[in-house]
Amino acid sequence: MSKKIVINTCFGGFGLSPKALIYLIEMNSSLIVKSERDIDGFFSSGVFKRSLKDCGNGYVSDSFSSIVLKDDAYYSIESVDAFRDHPDLIKVVEELKEEADGSCAKLKIVEIPDDVDWEIDEYDGSEEIHEVHKSWR
C-alpha cells in the first residue's frame, strides 16, 4: 500500500485556490476553519475589502491570503502543513488538478510507502518528501 501526500513543486509556496477552498467548504471538511468574528478588524479593513472578488456560489475570496467570505462568515484552511495527507486535500487536488493551485503554487500528489516516516523539505516554497532521519547541529 502507499500513502498520498500533496506538495508544492515550484518556488513561491504551498497554497490553494479560492475554488479549492470553496470545494473544501462545500465538503464540510475538517480542514476548514470558520470564524464569524472579525478578529482585530482585519476583514473589515479597506485593504482586505479591496482585494475581494466574486468566486461564484455566493462566495467572495482573497486569493492571496486563502480566506473565503460567505454569508458574513470567514473561512480559511487549518494549518495545512500538518494535513498534507488528509483525504479531503487529496480529493480536491485529484479532482481539480491545476485549478487547485494557489496563486504561487503548483501542487502535486506524491505517493510513498505507507510505512515511511516522512517530512516535507522546502526551499523557497519548492517542496520534496524526505524520509525522516536523525540529524544534529
137 located within any domain: no
24 located within any domain: yes
Mean pLDDT of all residues in 88-112: 95
58 located within any domain: yes
Give the chain's domain count: 1
103 located within any domain: yes
Place of cell 500513502: 3
Number of CB atoms found within 10 A of residue 93's CB: 21
CA-CA distance, 94 to 100, in Å (whole number)?
A: 9
Mean pLDDT of all residues in 119-136: 91
23 located within any domain: yes
136 located within any domain: no
For 43-92, give the secondary structure using H, E and C: CCCHHHHHCCEEEECCEEEECCCCEEEECCEEEEECCHHHHCCCHHHHHH
81 located within any domain: yes
Q: CB–CB of 54/18 below 8 Å? A: no
For residue 75, the enclosing domain spans 2-131
CA-CA distance, 136 to 134, in Å (whole number)?
A: 7
Q: What is the pTM of this model?
A: 0.81
pLDDT tens digits, 33-91: 887 666 556 566 655 565 566 666 666 665 545 677 777 777 888 777 779 999 999 99
In the predicted structure, residue 16 carries a pLDDT above the cut 90: no
Mean pLDDT of all residues in 107-121: 95
